[in-house]
Structure 1
Amino acid sequence: MGVNYTTVGELKEGNYIVIDGEPCRVVDIQKAKTGKHGAAKANVVAVSVFTGSKKTLMAPVDQQVEVPIIEKHVGQILADTGEKLQVMDLNTYETFEMEKPTEADLASKIRPGAEIEYWTIMGRNKIVRVK
């Protein structure tokens, strides 16, 4: 599946975490002190890498959580088919289709021949930078 594990207490802003099966980047963590009975709790706010939706996780700081393994690759755009992009990995020369980025700053730079950095997270690809 492409995940590692860590505890909620070890998370920091900017880390990645899996919430509801969706890889997310942590944007805020609030840790509450231990009460009279029980463990300290943490409220984690994260944003989905693929959809941009906000997700929250409330859990004890010693609870195990999944951390997605992020593989970083370099590719070249071969064609723009309207809804998808045809991309060739510049290391393996494998060609595949992937979603177009929805972020305006990335979408404006997408053109055939452009070099891109893309991440593979949990079997899905995402363009993070156009070179």
Structure 2
Amino acid sequence: MADEDFNTGHSGASTTYPVQCSTLRKNGFVMIKDRPCKIVEMSTSKTGKHGHAKVHLVGLDLFTQKKCEDLCPSTHNLDVPHVNRKEFEVVCVVDGFLTLMDDNGDTREDLKVPEGKLGDEIEERVDAGESVRVTVLEAIGEEHVISCKNTK
């Protein structure tokens, strides 16, 4: 019991949970090559003479949008990430980081402005004085801004 550290704020809960491969569905989430992915295609092959039915999964990485593929026996388990989606109001952009406020009025300044078109769009709208809300997706300990919209 002496090696327990009770000063950390971590509950010890896993970032993923196991699910039998045959129960996964299109538009669901799955871990492929240790990355959280959204399933965009899946097909099941029939059982062969000496084996199990196999499920072919094609997914897009939630954060990089890269295509990932996996082949798994339908009776085996795959990990599914816990995915959370939150919305925040953008207060300002400072040195490439977003200052965000949630519905309770709590602020955070730890998320970078996303690269590419989305980041440019957020910065343009904030500079123009528009009220902007962003959607933040969280999975396996990573958080990224995935979309933005104007608030009325």
1:109: Cα distance to partner?
3.8
Structure number having the greater strand percentage = 1
Percent of residue pairs identical: 22
Q: What is the RMSD of the two structures over their aligned residues, measured on CA atoms?
A: 2.0
TM-score relative to the length of structure 1: 0.84
1:116 corresponds to which residue? Answer: 134
Map 1:11-22 onto structure 2 (within 5 A). Answer: 11-22=24-35
Q: 1:44 to 1:96 in 2, by over 3 A?
A: same
* Whole-angstrom CA distance in 2 between matches of 1:110 and 1:20: 31
* Whole-angstrom CA distance in 1 between matches of 2:20 and 2:107: 36
1:2 and 2:20 correspond? no
1:83 and 2:96 correspond? yes
1:65 corresponds to which residue? Answer: 78
Q: How many residues are paired up?
A: 130
User: Residues 68-96 of structure 1: CA distance to partner in whole angstroms, max 9, x if unpaired?
Assistant: 11122121212223533232333361413
Find the residue that maps to 1:107 and give its secondary structure: helix
Q: Which amino acid aligns with 1:79?
A: C
In structure 1, stretches of 5+ residues that fail to align are: none
TM-score relative to the length of structure 2: 0.74
* Whole-angstrom CA distance in 2 between matches of 1:117 and 1:46: 21
1:95 corresponds to which residue? Answer: 108
**Structure label with greater radius of gyration:** 2
Q: Which moved more, 1:46-55 or 1:114-123?
A: 114-123
* Whole-angstrom CA distance in 2 between matches of 1:49 and 1:126: 9
1:41: Cα distance to partner?
0.6
1:44 and 2:62 correspond? no
Find the residue that maps to 1:59 and give its secondary structure: strand
Q: 1:61 to 1:45 in 2, by over 3 A?
A: same
Q: Which has the higher contact order (CA 8 A, sep 6+)?
A: 1
Does the 8 Å CA contact 2:87/2:133 hold for their aligned counterparts? yes
In structure 2, stretches of 5+ residues that fail to align are: 1-13
Q: Which moved more, 1:13-22 or 1:92-101?
A: 92-101
* Whole-angstrom CA distance in 2 between matches of 1:103 and 1:63: 38
Does the 8 Å CA contact 2:19/2:78 hold for their aligned counterparts? yes
